[in-house]
């Protein structure tokens, strides 16, 4: 803390944009000093303080906050009055620290204490420091014509502070940076800091000179070419060959090529095409072809888009706001974005979203684009049967054009859009026009797409920055090599509860906005929404639900316009049949009682899970087996395997199958059914028929069966359990190997079902009929089933 006895008083002269240091003789300028200020300065009785301003203010309206706290004291050695003010020649004596400022209308007064400089450089060190600074100045001056005069001036300086004060006026330093030199009380630290600034200035000058030299060389080449082309144009006009339409446009192509920032090899190819265009005579046959090609070249984005950091929190917020549920899918997408951020490498950014229609695959791609702050483009591949749609046509064909990939890139105007390849499973493979799926192999291969070659462009184009997202309803029709290049993310069907939340949170507000309605005009209550989901839609997604809600919105709009209702209009459950028609979805329900030979199975469909009934009966005959219900080959094989397995496990001479015909039927005969997962249901139906034991109608089952009696895992477990829960089933048998898949099943479904894993057919019989194969003979003898059912 300063000693109050050392506090002195003086008048303050505001200065800005200058470096003032002790021991320096320099000049300061006062724009319009009043008479009182001049008397203070000329009297010599009052200490004079030069105090830097934080910004380049005028001297009117200053406040204490406008000044820095450290300044210098000085003596006036000369006063020169001019038309523009007063020039003061001063000698700076000491650095001072301001304790208090008092601003009056005519002058600024200050109380201050002295801040002496630390003596940390001896005489030899000062001379070495001064010599090194002068050497840097000579190096800089040598690069400019006439710079020798500045070197001579600097060579005359004998003091480091004086040199810093002089040179700082030629350097791009801010007020704060200049003030830093004044704040330092160490001459050594001040000299080193200034040396650092001087070296940076030297490097900046050298870099600018190199850039200017290269630009000048390039500009000279460009101007030379322009001059020669102008001379060629004049010669052609003299020969009456330059007055064709489009000559000006041809000259514009050169400017566009220079501005397109193409790679060197692409630019050379473009200039060659331009030479061909200019060599065409009047009415040249290839003029339009070459112009169309040059238009594509100059409109394609060639400059690499600047990589932006990925904000994972923002991406998660966007995905959650625009999509309900799909937690695993969204988490997988977030993980993928995190890997992109860590690697800072776009290779491998090719995702395949697979799921039923209406589950939000395409809109997920749009959300990813928004999360990455990139352009979004969508390319529909459904029904494409021509390879040229992907790769383009060669320019030798009439009406040739680039493929859809490059057209989309041109439309996006950037090298790193998010491109959604919609319905990739619906490409028409084979045919006379090539295979479009095979053409996609190069597009979706991270190791190859950095040099993708379109037939029309016939030059390599880098697609490695594009974030490809493909969508499909099934991977079954996607060729293996193409599927191998993408990372599959499965999107399963929505549960009824998920559909309810999606409808309430997203679909109803969207439908109201699309139809010009508000939430105060149309009210759809929760029970009505659930009724619509259950009885008026049959789908895995929510597209049909949105259509039904749109129907309600149209009805309401008509009522409002015709003044047929009082607002708000609330939809009632008993009005749905009138508004939407009869219910369209009729799901099978668990029966009250199943006779022997009837078992409830589980099936997967593209729109969710369903229960199906396996019915078996027998009649006198010759051992023939009849299968009906539009069964596929695999399901027919499962029926034969079940019958063979049952025959092999029954005791000898228990049942004579040679004199009985068996008929196995699966209802809904108009619907195709196939797959191995009905194996244990078929086996249980035959065992129930043979033993005469009924199977509990509340039990459903799914699982593949083998001849050795093992139960193998199946697919679509989540959808099947959803269907079972909706149908009123309370207990389900599943393969033991599918237990790990239960983690994908919603908790609300698992709480309403008892899931029993089975490993062999013995487990199945024990859980369904309450018996085991070794005890079947005992059952026959006890109940006389063999004589009653299949008596020989």
What CATH number was assigned to the domain covering residues 312-490?
3.40.50.300
- Asked if residue 361 belongs to a known ligand binding site, the reply is yes
| 360 marked as part of a ligand binding site | yes
Q: What percent of the chain has pLDDT over 90?
A: 13
Q: Which fold has domain 598-789?
A: Ribosomal Protein S5; domain 2 (3.30.230)
The CATH topology of domain 4-115 is 2.30.130
Task: Please check if 357 is assigned to a binding site.
Answer: yes
- Which residues are 490's β-sheet partners? 354
Could you report the per-residue pLDDT of 336-391, keeping only the tens digit for each?
888 877 776 655 568 899 888 888 888 888 888 888 888 999 998 888 888 888 88
Model pLDDT for residues 82-139, shown as the tens digit of each residue: 777 788 888 888 889 888 888 876 678 888 888 888 878 888 888 888 888 888 888 8
What does each C-alpha distance from 530 to 501, 502, 527 come to in angstroms? 10, 11, 5
**358 in a known ligand binding site:** yes
Rounded-to-integer distance, Cα 539 and Cα 545, Å: 9
Give every strand in the sheet of 350-354, ordered side by side.
376-380, 418-422, 467-472, 350-354, 487-490
Judge whether 677 counts as a catalytic residue: yes
Q: Is 720 a catalytic residue?
A: yes
Pick the catalytic residue from 178, 673, 718, 720.
720
Asked whether the whole model's pTM tops 0.75, one would answer no
pLDDT, one tens digit per residue, over 479-498 is: 888 888 888 888 877 777 78
Q: For residue 45, which of 24, 22, 20, 76 has the smallest C-alpha distance?
A: 76
Q: Catalytic pick from 677, 694, 718, 743?
A: 677
Structure-block tokens of residue 17: 């944009």
Give residue 671's pLDDT: 82
* pLDDT for 335 beyond 60: yes
CA distance 475 to 491: 12
What CATH number is given for 496-580 in this structure?
A: 1.10.8.60
Output DSSP code: residue 56: -
Question: What pLDDT band is residue 1 in, cutting at 50, 70 and 90?
Answer: very low
Q: What is the DSSP string of 106-141?
A: S-EEEEEEEEPPB--S-HHHHHHHHHHHHHHHHHHH
The answer on whether 356 is annotated among ligand-binding residues is yes
- Tell me: the pLDDT tens digits for 44-69? 666 788 888 888 766 567 788 888 88
pLDDT tens figures, 628-667: 988 999 999 999 999 999 888 776 556 777 888 899 999 8
Q: What is the largest CA-CA distance in the chain?
A: 142
Domain ranges of the chain: 4-115, 312-490, 496-580, 598-789
């Amino acid at each position: 803390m300063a000693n109050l006895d050392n506090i002195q008083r003086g008048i303050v002269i505001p200065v800005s944009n200058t470096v003032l240091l002790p021991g320096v003789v320099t000049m300061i300028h006062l724009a319009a000093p009043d008479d009182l200020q001049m008397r203070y300065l000329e009297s010599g009785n009052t200490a004079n303080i030069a105090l830097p301003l934080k910004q380049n203010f005028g001297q009117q309206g200053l406040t204490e906050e406008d000044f820095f706290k450290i300044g210098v004291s000085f003596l006036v050695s000369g006063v020169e009055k001019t038309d523009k003010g007063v020039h003061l020649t001063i000698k700076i004596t000491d650095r001072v620290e301001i304790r208090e400022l008092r601003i009056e209308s005519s002058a600024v007064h200050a109380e201050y204490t002295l801040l002496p400089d630390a003596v940390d450089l001896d005489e030899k060190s000062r001379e070495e420091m001064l010599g090194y600074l002068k050497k840097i100045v000579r190096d800089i001056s040598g690069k400019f014509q006439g710079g020798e005069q500045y070197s001579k001036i600097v060579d005359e300086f004998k003091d480091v502070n004086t040199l810093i004060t002089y040179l700082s006026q030629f350097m791009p330093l801010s007020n704060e940076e200049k003030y830093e030199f004044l704040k330092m009380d160490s001459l050594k630290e001040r000299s080193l800091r200034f040396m650092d600034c001087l070296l940076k200035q030297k490097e900046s000058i050298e870099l600018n000179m190199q850039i200017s030299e290269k630009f000048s060389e390039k500009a000279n080449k460009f101007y030379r070419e322009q001059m020669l082309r102008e001379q060629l144009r004049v010669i052609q006009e003299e020969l009456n060959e330059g007055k064709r339409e489009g000559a000006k446009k041809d000259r514009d192509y050169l400017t566009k090529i220079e501005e397109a920032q193409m790679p060197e090899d692409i630019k050379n190819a473009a200039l060659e095409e331009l030479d061909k265009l200019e060599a065409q005579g009047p009415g040249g046959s290839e003029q339009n072809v070459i112009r169309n090609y040059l238009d594509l070249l100059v409109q394609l984005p060639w400059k690499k888009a600047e990589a932006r950091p990925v904000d994972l929190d923002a991406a998660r917020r966007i995905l959650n706001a625009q999509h309900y549920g799909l937690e695993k899918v969204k988490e997988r997408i977030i993980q993928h974005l995190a890997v992109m951020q860590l690697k800072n490498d776009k290779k491998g950014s090719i995702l395949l979203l697979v799921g039923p229609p209406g589950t939000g695959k395409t809109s997920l791609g749009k959300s990813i684009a928004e999360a990455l702050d990139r352009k979004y483009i969508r390319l529909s591949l459904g029904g494409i049967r021509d390879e040229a749609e992907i790769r383009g046509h060669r320019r030798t064909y009439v009406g040739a054009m680039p493929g859809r990939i490059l057209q989309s890139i041109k439309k996006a105007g950037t090298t790193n859009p998010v491109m959604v390849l919609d319905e990739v499973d619906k490409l028409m493979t084979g045919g006379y026009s090539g295979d479009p799926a095979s053409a996609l192999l190069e597009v979706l291969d991270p190791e190859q797409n950095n040099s993708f070659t379109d037939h029309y462009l016939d030059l390599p184009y880098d697609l490695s920055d594009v974030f490809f997202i493909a969508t499909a309803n099934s991977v079954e029709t996607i060729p293996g090599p193409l599927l191998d290049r993408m990372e599959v993310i499965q999107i399963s069907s929505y549960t009824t509860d998920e559909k309810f939340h999606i409808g309430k949170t997203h679909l109803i507000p969207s439908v109201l906005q699309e139809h010009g309605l508000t939430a105060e005009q149309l009210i759809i209550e929760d029970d009505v929404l659930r009724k619509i989901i259950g009885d008026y839609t049959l789908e895995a997604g929510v597209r049909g639900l949105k259509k039904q809600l749109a129907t309600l919105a149209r009805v309401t709009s008509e009522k409002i316009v015709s003044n047929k209702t009082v607002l708000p209009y609330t939809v009632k459950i008993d009005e749905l049949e009138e508004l939407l028609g009869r219910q369209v979805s009729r799901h099978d329900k668990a029966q009250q009682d199943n006779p022997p030979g009837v078992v409830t199975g589980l099936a997967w469909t593209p729109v969710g899970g369903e229960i199906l009934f396996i019915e078996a009966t027998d009649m006198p005959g010759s051992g023939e087996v009849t299968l009906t219900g539009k069964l596929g080959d695999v399901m027919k094989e499962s029926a034969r395997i079940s019958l063979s397995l049952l025959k092999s496990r029954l005791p000898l001479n228990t049942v004579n199958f040679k004199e009985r015909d068996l008929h196995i039927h699966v209802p809904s005969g108009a619907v195709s059914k196939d797959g191995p997962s009905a194996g244990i249901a078929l086996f249980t139906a035959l065992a129930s028929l043979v033993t005469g034991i009924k199977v509990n109608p509340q039990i459903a089952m799914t699982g593949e069966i083998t001849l050795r009696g093992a139960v193998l895992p199946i697919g679509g477990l989540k959808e099947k359990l959803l269907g079972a829960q909706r149908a009123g089933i309370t207990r389900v048998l599943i393969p033991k190997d599918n237990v790990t898949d239960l983690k994908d099943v919603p908790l609300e479904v698992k709480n309403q079902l008892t899931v029993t894993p089975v490993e062999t057919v013995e487990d199945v019989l024990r859980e369904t009929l309450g018996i085991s194969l070794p005890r079947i003979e005992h059952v026959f003898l006890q109940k006389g089933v063999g004589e009653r059912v299949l008596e020989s």
